Amino acid sequence: TSTREAMGIDIRHNKDRKVRRIEPKSQDIYLRLLVKLYRFLARRTDSKFNKIVLRRLFMSKINRPPLSIARLVRNMKKAGNADKTVVCVGTITNDIRIFDVPKMTICALRVTEKARERILKAGGEIITFDQLALRAPTGKNTLMIQGPRKARTAERHFGAAGRPGSHVKPFTRSKGRKFESARGRRESRGYKK
């Protein structure tokens, strides 16, 4: 036999590292306690809910966008959602454009002062994740909602701003006659996208 057959294949280890969070970056002891709790629940129960909550507890702030009361109300109005506990791994914020807030049970990491006031005034209830773990250890009768991730102002600038057909907001100093409004912006100067 030739030596080629006897040799093993060397494995390249340069792409082995999986880039995902396995713990939160934050050193917040209360968040870390929640992680301990949900790590246990994710391991010991076979519910997908706990695995999702755990994964979301690790996430950066960008990936845990705030959820407004308006979006909450909109989701609660759907059939069969009225008596469910809303779960949001993030912050719940107030929305002055909404006038009547229904009675609802909410579980979130944070609820802003005004939102908390309005939810409690409507006869609702706000619980923490450790209370949720006692009430619904497998996430039964819950409704998981996330805020809109793409609503960040920075998202408007992502992509190529000059390309025809793209609606990407350019980083201009200001908007006006003197600022980047010639070629590609006017028909008389070459083309208009």
pLDDT in tens, 94-127: 999 999 999 999 999 999 999 999 999 999 999 9
Distance CA 126, CA 128 (A): 7
Mean pLDDT, residues 176-193 taken together:
88
Mean pLDDT, residues 59-82 taken together:
96
Whether the pLDDT of residue 4 is over 80: the answer is no
Token representation of residue 156: 């408007």
161 pLDDT band, cuts 50/70/90, is: confident
Token representation of residue 150: 């793409």
If 0-12 CB within 10 Å is exposed, 13-18 middle and 19+ buried, where does residue 86 land? Answer: buried
Whether the pLDDT of residue 149 is over 80: the answer is yes
pLDDT confidence of residue 133? 97
Written as one string, the DSSP assignment of 102-168 is PP-EEEEEEE-HHHHHHHHHTT-EEE-HHHHHHH-TT-TTEEE----GGGSGGGGG-S-SSSTT--P
pLDDT confidence of residue 38? 98
pLDDT confidence of residue 136? 96
Distance CA 91, CA 106 (A): 11
Tell me what percent of the residues of the chain surpass a pLDDT of 90: 84
Q: Are 153 and 161 in contact (CB under 8 A)?
A: no
Mean pLDDT, residues 27-36 taken together:
97
3-class state of residue 95 by DSSP? coil
- Bridge partners of 110, per DSSP, are 91
Distance CA 95, CA 118 (A): 10
Q: For residue 69, what are the contacts with CB-CB under 8 A and spacing of at least 6? A: 92, 93, 94, 95, 98, 101, 115, 118, 119
76 pLDDT band, cuts 50/70/90, is: very high
Of residues 176, 73, 59, the one with CA closest to residue 118: 73
pLDDT confidence of residue 164? 80
